[in-house]
Amino acid sequence: MKLELGNIFIHDIQFDDLSRVENGVLYINEEELREHLLEDENISSVSFDIAKPGESVRIMPVKDVIEPRVKVEGRGGVFPGVISKVDTVGSGRTNVLKGAAVVTTGTIVGFQEGIIDMSGPGADYTPFSKLNNLVVICEPVEGLKQHAHEKAVRFAGLKAAAYLGRLAKDLEADEVESFETPSLIESFRQYPDLPRVAYVQMLQTQGLLHDTYVYGVDMKQSITTMLYPTELMDGAIISGNCVSACDKNTTYHHLNNPVIRDLYARHGKELNFVGMIITNENVYLADKERSSDWSAKLAEFLGVDGVIISQEGFGNPDTDLIMNCKKIEAKGIKTVIITDEYAGRDGASQSLADADISANAVVTGGNANMVVNLPPMEKVIGHVKLADTIAGGFDGSLQPDGSIVVELQAITGATNELGFNRLSAR
């Protein structure tokens, strides 16, 4: 399977009468997009705002971040099984509005979380401070239950991203990247002497506000399975996860999965990247056993020498991570795991909720309990009052001058466990 990504670089977003992309500027007709999103009867009102890199702007609480993309050639459409009909994606050509993103915000539950600062010290910790963001603020109809509210906001974000992506359908790309994964037998013929490597991606799948969808399927209902890595680039995996802002994977992360990118970068040179396995992180322990058994079995079946395992979320996924690691190592397959830490504010506590001696190669996204002081911003998009109740915030988090003292875990994507960032800890 081969996919080309045509990147169209976006350096600015503006509201205008006609939605279009021109000279690297994304123009948006607010009214047209609003009407599109209001087609959902669960949404009572929609408003938009724009946040650009370097501005004195804080967005909170962030639900999801999505990169606008559109299918130009090949089967299916972006976000298959959700926005587009079910069809196998990941081949042909997809155009990307690189440098732009849709950010959804909304108070689905009282402890909703996630901060993106567009400047200042907080901006260093979130990758989304470097993007031109269209912020979508949705209000639900009265009395809408949390799960329906979450779904409405999730769909609004995806629809907005697909709407913007469509503006790029006929554009010429500024840059084209190419990614290809042949069949197992073909890849073995091509690179018989290179170490064979697969990627095992763990997906957060615990229930309300903790879900991930693959081709529209709630991943907690699935057993461990395989995908072509390029399928993710067309939105095969989307986030329904609202909790643990620092180490949940937004849809943007899935579209731009850095492990996939970095394995492709070495593919055919130092290693043979044969494919990827996706597995879940369920609450029920027998599910954990079964899913990790399957990860190990599929890794063995692929005949790989090594795997990279990435985690998502806090606490009980540590158990899935260690199970996956232990069982795959037991098959004689070398592992590297990517996680993050909750080592306490002073950094002195045990970082993980589970540990095993076979996990001897660990990459960490940093200590999520580290306290940061986010200075006041001139403009806040969303609900600043929430600072006291978001994860990583606390009573008194919100200072009288508008600054916020929080743990890193409140910042969207800060300790990402796909290895998206440079942040680490020792």
Partner 1 sequence: MAKFRVVHYINQFFAQVGGEEKADHRPESREGFVGPGMAFNAAFGDKAEIVGTVICGDSYFNENLETATKEVLGLISSFKPDLVIAGPAFNAGRYGMACGTVAAAVERELDIPAITGMYKENPGVDSFKKDIYIIETKNSAAGMRDAVKVMAPFALKLAAGEEIGASVEEGYIPNGIRVNFFEEKRGSERAVDMLLAKLAGKPFTTEFPMPDFDRVEPKPAIVDISKATIALVTSGGIVPKGNPDRIESSSASKYGKYDIEGVFDLTESTYETAHGGYDPVYANLDADRVLPVDILREYEKDGKIGKLHRYFYSTTGNGTAVASAKAYAAAIGKELVADGVDAVILTST
Partner 2 sequence: MNRAKGVVLFALCFVFGRKQSSGKERYLILITNNPKFQSDPEPRCDTEYIAGSYRDVLILVRDRIHQGHRLLSHPLSGSVKPNETPYKSILISKNTGGLDMDSLQIIEDSISTCDKFMQNPIKYGHNNQDALLADFSEVDYRLIVAAIASASR
Which residues bind to partner 2, rule: CB under 8 A?
109-111, 146-147, 204, 206-210, 220, 241, 243-244, 248, 282-290, 313-316, 318-319, 342, 344-345, 349-350, 353-354, 369, 388-389, 391, 393-396, 407, 409
Cα separation, 197 vs 305, in Å, equals 6
CB of 245 to partner 2, least distance (A): 9
Part in contact with partner 1 (CB under 8 A); list of ranges 159-167, 174-182, 305-313, 375-383:
305-313
Nearest to 36 by CA among 27, 46, 26: 46
**Helices 285-301 and 316-330, axial angle in degrees (round to 10):** 30
Part in contact with partner 1 (CB under 8 A); list of ranges 26-34, 39-47, 202-210, 414-422:
414-422
Residue type, 288: K
Give me the catalytic one of 138, 242, 246, 325: 242
Q: How many residues of this chain bind partner 1 (CB under 8 A)? A: 54
| Nearest CB to partner 1, comparing residues 67 and 247 | 247
Q: What residue ranges in 296-408 does DSSP mark as E strands?
A: 306-310, 334-341, 362-367, 371-374, 379-382, 404-407
Q: What is the DSSP letter of 370?
A: -
CB of 356 to partner 1, least distance (A): 7
**Helices 146-166 and 30-38, axial angle in degrees (round to 10):** 140
Active site residue 242: yes
| Nearest CB to partner 1, comparing residues 135 and 404 | 404
| Nearest CB to partner 1, comparing residues 298 and 414 | 414
Q: Is 315 in the site for partner 1 (CB under 8 A)?
A: no
| Nearest CB to partner 1, comparing residues 265 and 283 | 265
* 197 neighbors 263 (Cβ within 8 angstroms): yes
Contacts of 408 (CB under 8 A, 6+ apart): 125, 246, 366, 367, 368, 369, 370, 371, 372, 392, 414, 415
* 254 neighbors 241 (Cβ within 8 angstroms): no
Contacts of 106 (CB under 8 A, 6+ apart): 61, 63, 112, 137, 138, 139, 140, 149, 153
282 binds, among partner 2, partner 1, none (CB under 5 to 8 A by kind): partner 2
Interface residue with partner 1 among 355, 378, 379, 385 (CB under 8 A) is: 355
Tokens (6 digits) for 227: 């995908």
Interface residue with partner 1 among 46, 116, 338, 387 (CB under 8 A) is: 338
Interface residue with partner 1 among 334, 353, 375, 384 (CB under 8 A) is: 334
Beta pairing partners, 43: 140
* 4 neighbors 94 (Cβ within 8 angstroms): yes
CB of 348 to partner 1, least distance (A): 5
Interface residue with partner 1 among 175, 361, 379, 385 (CB under 8 A) is: 361
Interface residue with partner 1 among 303, 360, 373, 378 (CB under 8 A) is: 360
List of residues contacting partner 1 (CB under 8 A):
124, 195, 197, 258-259, 261-263, 265-266, 270-271, 305-308, 310, 334-336, 338-339, 341, 343, 346-348, 350-352, 355-357, 359-367, 370, 408, 416, 418-426
Catalytic residues: 242
